[in-house]
Amino acid sequence: SQQGEEDPQALSIQEGENATMNCSYKTSINNLQWYRQNSGRGLVHLILIRSNEREKHSGRLRVTLDTSKKSSSLLITASRAADTASYFCATGRGSTLGRLYFGRGTQLTVWP
Amino acid sequence: GAVVSQHPSWVICKSGTSVKIECRSLDFQATTMFWYRQFPKQSLMLMATSNEGSKATYEQGVEKDKFLINHASLTLSTLTVTSAHPEDSSFYICSGVGGLGGKETQYFGPGTRLLVL
């Protein structure tokens, strides 16, 4: 499969706790992106990390990338009930921007 | 940020009919658009890459005669599901790649939910 794999498939935490989601992929990449999807809705782009970067921050989000292990992690700190959604990693390959291969996603539920 | 719209947002049709879904980039020119499909509780699967003025490039396993893609202008791509069957029921999402401020970025539409009865 060309897709990445996220784990866990589902994660349930209390508000204020941190949520960590992992993504593994199989082939070489140019970049890796994380997206959020609320139930039955479109995608919201969260963050892009390039293959030559190791860590990136955006607000309460922290993404790491380990190209030697072909893995990435997304950390959401101080989670809120509004963070409840599905989170997908997507890898971009080749010269065509936007040709993405998505992982299976992690369903995050944050309880108030 | 840039906006991509899809129309319709949802559609119900009878088996055997054809359904056209539009994807528009509202405030930028999308030289390339992509079509994805998502089954319930599953991931997005890339179906095809659409370039303005040329034939679409389909991913392996996607029937080009079943899913007709037309990218007639820099702001519009259409996906037509021909002779739709219940197994075509899915969430179809498009995205457009364009440059605002000199940087190319990908923008996703809100998706179209198709239910074939």
DSSP conformation class of B15: T
Q: What is the pLDDT of residue A31?
A: 87
Cα angle value A35/A29/A39 (rounded, 5°): 15
pLDDT at B87 over 90: yes
Q: What is the pLDDT of residue A94?
A: 63
Q: What is the pLDDT of residue B1?
A: 62
Place of tokens 């293959």: A51
Q: What is the pLDDT of residue B103?
A: 65
Residue A15 to residue A76: CA distance in whole angstroms: 11
pLDDT at B6 over 50: yes
Rama region for B35: left / alpha / beta (φ>0; ψ in -120 to 50; rest): beta
Listed residue (B46, B72, B71) closest to B59, CA to CA: B46
Are the beta carbons of A40 and B91 separated by less than 8 Å? yes
Task: Assign A69 to helix, strand or coil.
Answer: coil
User: Residue B43: which of A40, A97, A102 has the nearest Cβ?
Assistant: A102
Within chain A, which residues score under 50 in pLDDT? Answer: 1-2
Place of tokens 């029937």: B63
Q: What is the pLDDT of residue A1?
A: 43
Are the beta carbons of B97 and A88 separated by less than 8 Å? no
State whether residue A100 sits within 8 Å of chain B by CB: yes
State whether residue A102 sits within 8 Å of chain B by CB: yes
> Which residues on B lie below 8 Å from A98 (Cβ)?
32, 34, 49, 95-97, 106
Task: Assign B4 to helix, strand or coil.
Answer: strand
Q: What is the pLDDT of residue A70?
A: 94
> What are A84-109's pLDDT values in tens digits?
999 999 998 666 667 888 988 999 99
Residue A89 to residue A74: CA distance in whole angstroms: 9
The contact set of B with A (CB < 8 A) is 32, 34, 36, 42-46, 49, 91, 93, 95-97, 104, 106, 108-111, 113
Q: What is the pLDDT of residue A107?
A: 94
| DSSP for B21-85, written as a single string | EEEEESSS--SEEEEEEE-TTS-EEEEEEEETTS--EEPTT--TTTEEEEEEETTEEEEEE-S--
Confidence of residue B102 (pLDDT cuts 50, 70, 90): low
Bigger pLDDT: B107 or B67?
B67
User: Residue B49: which of A43, A96, A102 has the nearest Cβ?
Assistant: A96
Bigger pLDDT: A2 or B33?
B33
Please tell me chain A's helix, strand, coil percentages from 3-state DSSP, rounded to the nearest 5. Answer: 5, 55, 40
User: Residue A98: which of B32, B45, B113 has the nearest Cβ?
Assistant: B32
Are the beta carbons of A102 and B34 separated by less than 8 Å? no
